Amino acid sequence: MKNVKRMRKYLFYLSGENEKLAKAEVEFLLKSYSKFRLIEEDKQILVCEGNGNIKRLALTHEACEFVTSCEIDDLEDVFRSLEYPETKICVRVKNVGGKKLDAAKAERELGAILWKRGAEVSVSNPEAIIKVYLANKAFVGFLIQKTDTKQFLIRKPTNKPFFMPNVVLPRFARALVNLSGVRENEVLLDPMCGTGTFLIEAGLMNIEILGIDPFEKIVSGCRENLRYYGLKANVLMGDAKKLPFKDNSIDAIVTDFPYLQSTKSFGSLMDLYYKATEEFSRVLKSKRFAVIVSNIDFDELLGNYFKIVGKFYQRIHKNLTRRIYLCLKDY
């Protein structure tokens, strides 16, 4: 059931690593819970209306309750009439994509405006933080959350009991799970699961997970990884060309095809692309998404089964650029 909570106005400060993907992550995560309305975007800044579990976001640095946007020159005027809470507050200024102002000086000056108006300002121990992001314009909001990026380093592939080279990194994997629009307690399938990076990120967000891989050693390694994170080891030995699931039974698919540089295909790779794509569309529920990663372009084949809603790129090195397809069934 869709969440019917009131829409909120959010201000997101996104990671600059892959802005397009970071924006799409916010959009499709929020759309899975509520309506979504884009209000403004400016470099790594996104202002939108929606609702949802924003704690899940991976490619967002910070999220705020949106207050206003203005020309940078008008910031002081905005602070002269800004509503502030009756708690200890402080102002933090961040230049986004190039220096516009001396951030420390701007923090002091804007903080002083609030202090003169009677606000309790505490730089060392604030209870509320007013963020000001300086992109082409200035964006003002109350900080709600900062993404814990350390967790992704702790879960890096070499820290897992079972390791394979060239696998997707946890932060990126989490963003792709969110892109799929899967909600808590729904079922996410990775039909070519390898070490289980997508499954682990999804499982840690309370999503039901299912994995498939044809190689016994990989299946047992993936199960070991899932147990290591306290997750159910729902991994079957099988073939993505012939999935053991009913039609229209899966809420989301997030997966990446073998690259052949380091991961083998079970049978011919071309055969896998053709038959697995058809299988993905068969088992996925209507109007739901598959996020499919590949090192080749295969828009035409995908287009036979899905509407390609988004296509993103991630360059790993000169011989590997990942294509990330966001595919909608029954559009």
**Contact positions vs ligand SAM (CB under 6 A):** 164, 167-168, 191-198, 212-215, 218, 239-241, 256, 258-259, 263, 265-267, 272
Q: Is the dihedral of CA 157, 162, 167, 171 positive or negative?
A: negative
Contacts of 86 by beta carbon, 8 Å cutoff, 6+ apart: 120
Nearer Cβ to ligand SAM, position 10 or 172? 172
Nearest to 193 by CA among 178, 173, 175: 173
Shortest separation between residue 181's beta carbon and ligand SAM, angstroms: 19
Residue 119: both structure tokens together: 């606000």
Query: How far from each other are the two terminal CA atoms of the chain, in whole angstroms?
Result: 20
Nearer Cβ to ligand SAM, position 142 or 266? 266
Which residue's CB comes closest to ligand SAM? 194
Nearer Cβ to ligand SAM, position 110 or 218? 218
Shortest separation between residue 55's beta carbon and ligand SAM, angstroms: 23
Shortest separation between residue 148's beta carbon and ligand SAM, angstroms: 21
Nearer Cβ to ligand SAM, position 52 or 194? 194
Shortest separation between residue 174's beta carbon and ligand SAM, angstroms: 12
- Amino acid at site 169: L
Shortest separation between residue 222's beta carbon and ligand SAM, angstroms: 7
Contact between 133 and 110 (Cβ < 8 Å): no
Q: How far apart are CA 63 and CA 50, in angstroms?
A: 13
Residue 99: both structure tokens together: 């220096």
The CB density around residue 241, as the number of other CB atoms within 10 Å, is 18
Shortest separation between residue 20's beta carbon and ligand SAM, angstroms: 21
Nearer Cβ to ligand SAM, position 183 or 241? 241
Nearer Cβ to ligand SAM, position 126 or 258? 258
Q: How far apart are CA 27 and CA 57, in angstroms?
A: 11
